[in-house]
Structures are given as C-alpha cells and as structure tokens.
C-alpha cells in the first residue's frame, strides 16, 4: 500500500478532477488564461443592456411572425367578368311615389331599378341619429366638417368573417300612426353589366318621358343619407367610402354627383391557392359568399369583392336642368390582391439569428468605444493632476 501511495495511484486520483482534465483535452475552444483577462467596470452593464435589447427585438419578431404580413399586389384583371351586383341603401327627403331610380350602362341596357329595389316610407329624423359624416373632397375638409366614422380599409379577416355572416338589410323604422312620412328609403341589390354605367335618382316626370303627372317643383328636395353603396357581394358589417354619409340642400333644384372608380379586389389568407389557378380560365361572376363558382379551385379563405374610390360634386341647377342624385361608376381594368401571409419557420430562425447577431456586434462596438473614451478621459485627468503636483513642488523649492 505504501508503494501505491508514493506513486499517487490511490482512488482519489481517479475522481472528478482527472475526468475534467480528460474532457478539457477534447475541448475545441480553448479558454483564455486568467492572467490574460482584465475585468472592466462597464462590462456587466453592457451585458445587461444587450440582453434586454435582444429579448425585446426577439419578442417583436415573434409577434410580427405570428400576426403575419399583409401584402398588396396589383395586376391586370384575369379572365372575363360579365355581371356586377350593386347594393344600395339611401334615404331621400321626398315621398316614394315621387322618385324614380334607374341604372343605365355603357352597353345601352337600362335597368328599372325602381322595380328591383324596395321603397319604404320613413321619417327623415329617424336617420339623423346614426353616426354619419359629410363627404369632403379632401381629408382636411372632412375633419373640418366634424366628420364621424371616416372610412378605413378593413382587415383581411374582417372580409373573411363577413362572408359567413348574414347578408340582409336592416329593417326600416316604423312610422308612427297619424304621422305622415316625409322621406323614402330605397334599398336592395340589383344585377347589372360589369361595364361603366350611371345610377341616378330623379323626380317623377323629370329626366325620362314619363306619362305620369308632372311633379310640383316645390316638392323637390334631394337631401339624402347614404347608408350603403357597395359593389359585389353584400357585406353589411363592412364600411365603404360612401357608407354613413349625408348631403343636404335648401334649394329645390340641386344636383348631387358622385364619381366612383371600382377596383376588383381579392382578400385572402391563402395566396398560394390563387397562384395555382389557371391564368387563362374565365373569371365568372361572384356568388353570394364572395367566392367564384369554382369551389374546388379557390379556398374558403378567399373573398372576391370590389373596392372603390369616390369624388363628389354638388351644385344648384337651373329650372331647365334635371336635379337629383347621380352616381357614375367606372370599372378599372386592374385587380388588387390583398393577402395575409406568414413566413416559414426556417426564415423566422434566420431573422432571429440576424437580429441577435446585429445587436451583439453593434453592442460590441459601443462597448469598445465607451471603454476607449473612458480610458482617454482618465489619461487626461491623470496628466492634469501630475503637472499640478510638480508645479507645486517646484514652487516650494524656489521659496526655500
């Protein structure tokens, strides 16, 4: 036993210490010797700052990846569309029997919208309590006119949710007994050709060769509330630029004109299915659910609808002109695709690595600059202090 002890072959030499040395022998990243390291006073502070910045940026990237990214892509509309659905809900300050509603498109077809749409007698005061705003030519004008509920583009999920909800117009408020109605609500959906056209509301006996009784000019009042004006499938829960707007006038002969540019729009969360569709396939009309009649081709997470931009012009006209509400719409030959997409997990990992690496590199540079600045400031302080001591000793020697 003494021989083994002298040669250090006891059991203690085969413990954890020797095992650690064996592991260190296979370490591919040798460590710096403690004598070569130098601890700084700001290193811990910078470590905490970089750690917090990395956590915040990582969390931001994860939130952005989870929410997805909304993209807007413009392209020439593919296929051929024939039909266009128009949804209207407007209240005019005149009696129903005194109004005519018609649609005439560029192909020459004239649609008697008054027969397809519903007309309900109502009171003007029942429609002034809702949140409405005037339509100005610029955003600043709408703000100066105390506009409420200004139009904002809906999210992709709003359209997808609206495609599965009810698609009915709300009921007209009842007129109390013994109270004469002073307005008319015109609402419903009509099908027209997908070409440029005019939609207008005029007075009886004016604008067309009507055989009815000529209406007294004193009863003209084309003040109106637009509750709904949309093209394509009817989604009551969505807001369009002309929805909840109103325009009033004190004159009998007044003309309101709206110029609308309609853009076919696709909302989807499955953009890959759109890319797989045959580009040369004919584009049929939209159904009630906003999907074209190819259920095998298009995903349920895709909605086909239309957006539009509108400008307004209103002015008083002479007795020889035709007063009324005129809407001129034009179909743009482009198609807007609004898609919500999510990146893959590998791309998310690459972005996180880039973000964290950028923070560490930038933090390293900031740390080196701060250390250099601190060292430079310390040298200047020591120099000024040293010169002062020598100068003091030199004065004492001269005094002696």
E strand or H helix at 58, and its extent? helix 43-67
User: Is the pLDDT at 243 greater than 80, yes or no?
Assistant: yes
Question: What residue ranges do the domains of the chain occupy?
Answer: 43-68+342-377, 75-341
Token pair of 190 as six digits: 């009509």
- Per-residue pLDDT reduced to its tens digit, 108-117: 666 766 678 8
Average predicted confidence (pLDDT) for the chain: 76
Determine the pLDDT at residue 35: 61
User: Is the pLDDT at 201 greater than 70, yes or no?
Assistant: yes
CA-to-CA dists, residue 249 to 120, 161, 246, 252, 254, angstroms: 22, 38, 10, 8, 7
Summarize the confidence of residues 69-90 as an average pLDDT. Answer: 81
pLDDT grade for 163, boundaries at 50, 70 and 90? confident
User: Is the pLDDT at 198 greater than 80, yes or no?
Assistant: yes
DSSP 8-state assignment for residue 12: G
- Per-residue pLDDT reduced to its tens digit, 8-43: 555 555 555 555 555 555 555 566 666 666 666 677
For the chain, the maximum distance between any two Cα atoms, rounded to a whole number of angstroms, is 135
Token pair of 222 as six digits: 């084309």
- Whole-angstrom Cα distance, residue 92 to residue 183? 6
- Per-residue pLDDT reduced to its tens digit, 305-317: 898 999 888 888 8
The more confidently predicted of residues 266 and 272 is: 266
- Say if pTM beats, i.e. exceeds, 0.85: no
């Amino acid at each position: 036993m003494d021989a083994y002890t002298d040669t250090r072959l006891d059991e203690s030499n085969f413990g954890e210490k020797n095992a650690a040395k064996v592991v260190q022998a296979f370490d591919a990243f040798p460590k710096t010797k403690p004598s070569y390291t130098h601890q700084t006073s700001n290193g811990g502070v910078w470590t905490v700052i970089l750690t917090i910045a990395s956590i915040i940026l990582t969390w931001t990237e994860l939130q952005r990846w989870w929410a997805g990214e909304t993209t807007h892509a413009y392209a020439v509309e593919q296929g051929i569309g024939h039909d266009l659905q128009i949804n209207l809900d407007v209240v005019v300050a005149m009696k129903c029997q005194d109004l005519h509603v018609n649609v005439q498109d560029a192909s020459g077809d004239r649609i008697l919208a008054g027969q397809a749409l519903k007309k309900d007698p109502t009171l003007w005061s029942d429609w002034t309590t809702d949140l409405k705003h005037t339509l100005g030519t610029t955003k600043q004008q709408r703000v100066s006119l105390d506009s409420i509920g200004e139009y904002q583009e809906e999210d992709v999920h709003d359209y997808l949710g609206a495609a599965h909800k009810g698609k009915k117009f709300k009921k007209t408020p009842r007129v109390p007994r013994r109270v004469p109605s002073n307005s008319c609500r015109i609402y419903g959906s009509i099908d027209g050709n997908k070409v440029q056209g005019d939609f207008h509301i005029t007075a009886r006996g004016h604008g067309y060769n009507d055989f009815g009784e000529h209406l007294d000019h004193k009863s003209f009042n084309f003040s109106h509330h637009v509750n709904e004006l949309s093209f394509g499938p009817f989604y009551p829960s969505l807001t369009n630029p002309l929805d909840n707007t109103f325009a009033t006038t004190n004159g009998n002969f007044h003309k309101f004109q709206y110029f609308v540019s309609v853009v076919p729009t696709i909302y989807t969360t499955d953009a890959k299915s759109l890319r797989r569709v045959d580009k040369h396939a004919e584009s049929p009309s939209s159904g009630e659910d906003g999907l074209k009649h190819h259920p095998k081709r298009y995903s349920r997470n895709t909605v086909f609808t239309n957006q539009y931009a509108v400008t307004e012009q209103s002015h008083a006209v002479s007795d020889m002109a035709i007063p009324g509400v005129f809407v001129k719409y034009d179909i743009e030959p482009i198609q807007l695709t609004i898609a919500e997409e999510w990146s893959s997990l590998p791309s998310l990992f690459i972005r996180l690595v880039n973000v964290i690496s950028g923070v560490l590199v930038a933090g390293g540079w900031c740390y080196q600059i701060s250390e250099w600045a601190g060292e430079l400031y310390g040298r200047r302080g020591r120099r000024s202090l040293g010169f002062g001591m020598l100068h003091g000793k030199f004065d004492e020697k001269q005094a002696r």
